[in-house]
Amino acid sequence: MSNSILESVDAAGDSTPGRTGTSAGTPASTIVMSMQQALNRALDEVLAENPKAVIFGEDCGQLGGVFRITDGLQAKHGAQRVFDTPLAESGILGMSVGLAMAGFHPIPEVQFDGFAYPAINQIVCQIARMNYRSRGTLPMPITLRVPSFGGIRAPEHHGESLEALFAHVPGLKVVSPSNPHEAYHLLKYAATRPDPVIFMEPKSRYWQKGEVNLAHGEAGAGSPTGAKVMREGRHLTLVAWGAMVARCLQVAELAAEDGIDIEVLDLRWLKPIDAEALAASVRKTRRAVVVHEAPLTSGLGAEVAQLITQSCFDTLRAPVERVTGFDVPYPSGDLEDEYIPNIDRILFGIQRVLEYKRG
């Protein structure tokens, strides 16, 4: 996290993978794939590189997961390392604790966001505090993959945004990729950490393709920690993560038609949040809107707004706005588009900030 500001600035350069379509100068290590394929590739490599990494969950094995993220991994790495469990999320996460104690790196999958609730006891009461309880002798290198957020007209409990819940728990780290490139690199990084990381995959973005630069380090992905500027701008910073990043990039293009130059900051890590990147961006733009699918009240937007206010109070031209889901249970498919922040609601939020007058 130390160089996150610099990295954010670097990341805004031409080779930024978030800004696809740069055919000229595309590095040789860049290939086009979907997020689903990028995650699959990352897991494949993690299994190959770490003999103690194991993947398990409901339907992860032969079926390859309901979203095919683990497709082919059992056939390639064996049923000892990629396996189906009985259908019990608390069991999956509780078992992860024991495996971690035994020296493994569990990469469990909870099939859908809403099915993490039955596992909350093990996640919060056990995984998050074992390192602390054991005075550092029992670290919990557990990478919990959770297909997350809404947008696919799915049944109940298949469209939840749990980041604030997870982020509130001491002892958990939380990350969410916004595109295939981020997915590949963030998962490879998360799955090699010595601490528990909740990896929230934006399921509505699984199938969109994008360029992935497989090279690591400064020539390739840049840092896997901290936030990342996905589009540079002068007038206002849109802060988002997961599926909302793509929508904010669309909004930025539309705002440009109106002469408003918007910076889009992909927060990526929802815990720890990159306060320095927020400060660096908003010091420049002096205006900020944070966008998330999760409900408004006690959502991460509040945390982001506070961090910005803390660092940029003197230069802010308006209070930080939040454009979010509502304080309602995630609705059925018919009402999904009413719930998830849409382009117009984000534009309204931007307009409120732009027209704000002090005093």
Sites of contact with another protein (CB under 8 A): 36, 58-59, 61-64, 66-68, 71, 84, 86-88, 90-91, 111, 114-115, 117-118, 147, 151-158, 203-204, 206-208, 235, 250-251, 253-255, 258-260, 296-297, 326-329, 331-336, 338-339, 343-345, 347-348, 350-351, 354-355
N-term to C-term CA, the chain: 37
**Closest separation in Å from C-beta 226 to another protein:** 28
Count helices and strands in the chain by DSSP H and E runs: 13, 14
**Closest separation in Å from C-beta 111 to another protein:** 8
Q: Cβ closer to another protein: 36 or 225? A: 36
Verify whether residue 158 is a known catalytic residue.
yes
Q: Cβ closer to another protein: 235 or 268? A: 235
- Exactly one of 77, 105, 158, 185 is catalytic; which is it? 158
Q: Cβ closer to another protein: 17 or 94? A: 94
**Closest separation in Å from C-beta 174 to another protein:** 22
**Closest separation in Å from C-beta 193 to another protein:** 27
Measured CA to CA, the distance from residue 330 to residue 317 in angstroms comes to 33
Measured CA to CA, the distance from residue 183 to residue 175 in angstroms comes to 10
Q: The tokens of 359 are what? A: 């005093």
Burial of 272-297, coded b for 16+ CB within 10 Å and e otherwise, reads ebbbbbbbbbbeebbbbbbbbbbbee
Q: In this structure, which amino acid lies at residue 334?
A: D
Residue of 268, 260, 254 lying closest to 236 (CA atoms): 260
Phi/psi-derived region of residue 168, left when phi > 0, alpha when psi is between -120 and 50, beta in every other case? alpha
* Residue whose token pair is 């609730």: 117
Q: Cβ closer to another protein: 17 or 64? A: 64
**Closest separation in Å from C-beta 162 to another protein:** 15
Q: Cβ closer to another protein: 311 or 351? A: 351
List, by residue number, the catalytic residues. Answer: 158
